[in-house]
Copies of this chain bind each other. A is one copy, B any other.
Amino acid sequence: MTLTPTAQARQWLDDWNQALRSDQPARAADLFEDNGFWRDLVAFTWNLKTAEGSDQLRAMIDATVASTAPSDWALDGEATETDGVIEAWITFATRLGHGEGHLRLRDGKAWTLLTTLKELRDYPEPRGANRPKGARHGVFKDRRSWLEERQAEQAELGYSRQPYCVIIGGGQGGIGLAARLRQLNVPTIVVEKNPRPGDSWRNRYKSLCLHDPVWYDHLPYLPFPDNWPVFSPKDKIGDWLEMYTRIMEINYWGSSECTGARYDEQAGEWRVTVRRDGDTVTLRPKQLVLATGMSGMPNVPDIPGMDSFEGEQHHSSQHPGGEGYAGKRCVVLGANNSAHDICAALWEHGADVTMVQRSSTHVIKSATLMDLVLGPLYSEEAVANGVTTERADLTFASMPYRVMPEFHIPVYRQVAERDADFYQRLRDAGFMLDFGEDGSGLFMKYLRRGSGYYIDVGACDLVANGDIKLRSGVGIEQINPRSVTLTDGSELPADLIVYATGFGSMNGWAARIISQEVADKVGKCWGMGSGTTKDPGPWEGELRNMWKPTAQQGLWFHGGNLHQSRFYSRFLALQLKARMEGLETPVYGRQDVHHLA
Q: Which residues of B contact A459 (CB under 8 A)?
A: 139
Say whether A221 contacts B232, CB under 8 Å. Answer: no
Q: Which residues of B contact A257 (CB under 8 A)?
A: none
A231 to B240, CA, bound (A): 24
Say whether B141 contacts A348, CB under 8 Å. Answer: yes
Say whether B134 contacts A232, CB under 8 Å. Answer: yes
A239 at the interface (CB under 8 A from B): yes
A127-B236 in contact given A139-B344, A141-B348, A461-B139 (Cβ < 8 Å): no
Say whether A458 contacts B138, CB under 8 Å. Answer: yes
A159 at the interface (CB under 8 A from B): no
- B-facing residues in A132-149 (Cβ within 8 Å): 132-135, 137-141, 143, 145-148
Say whether A131 contacts B246, CB under 8 Å. Answer: no
- B-facing residues in A462-489 (Cβ within 8 Å): 462, 467
**Total copies of the chain:** 2
Say whether A228 contacts B131, CB under 8 Å. Answer: yes
A511 to chain B, nearest CB (A): 35
A227 at the interface (CB under 8 A from B): yes
Say whether B457 contacts A143, CB under 8 Å. Answer: no
Say whether B235 contacts A145, CB under 8 Å. Answer: yes
Say whether A128 contacts B348, CB under 8 Å. Answer: no
Q: Which residues of B contact A132 (CB under 8 A)?
A: 227, 229-230
Q: Which residues of B contact A183 (CB under 8 A)?
A: 227
A233-B147 in contact given A209-B135, A226-B128, A348-B139 (Cβ < 8 Å): yes
A458-B137 in contact given A225-B221, A226-B221 (Cβ < 8 Å): yes
A229-B137 in contact given A143-B348, A146-B235, A246-B243 (Cβ < 8 Å): no
Say whether A134 contacts B348, CB under 8 Å. Answer: no
A230 to B129, CA, bound (A): 9
A468 and chain B: residue at smallest CB distance: B139
Q: A134-B214, A139-B459, A221-B225 are in contact. List 14 more A-B contacts (CB 8 A).
A: A131-B226, A132-B227, A133-B231, A134-B228, A135-B209, A135-B210, A135-B230, A137-B367, A139-B461, A145-B233, A145-B234, A146-B233, A147-B233, A240-B247
Instruction: List residues of A whose CB falls within 8 A of some B CB.
Output: 125-129, 131-135, 137-141, 143, 145-148, 150, 183, 206-207, 209-210, 214, 221-222, 225-236, 239-240, 243, 246-247, 344-345, 347-348, 350, 366-367, 380, 383, 457-459, 461-462, 467
* A and B contact pairs by CB, cutoff 8 A, 10 listed: A131-B227, A132-B229, A138-B458, A138-B461, A139-B467, A141-B348, A145-B207, A221-B225, A221-B226, A243-B247
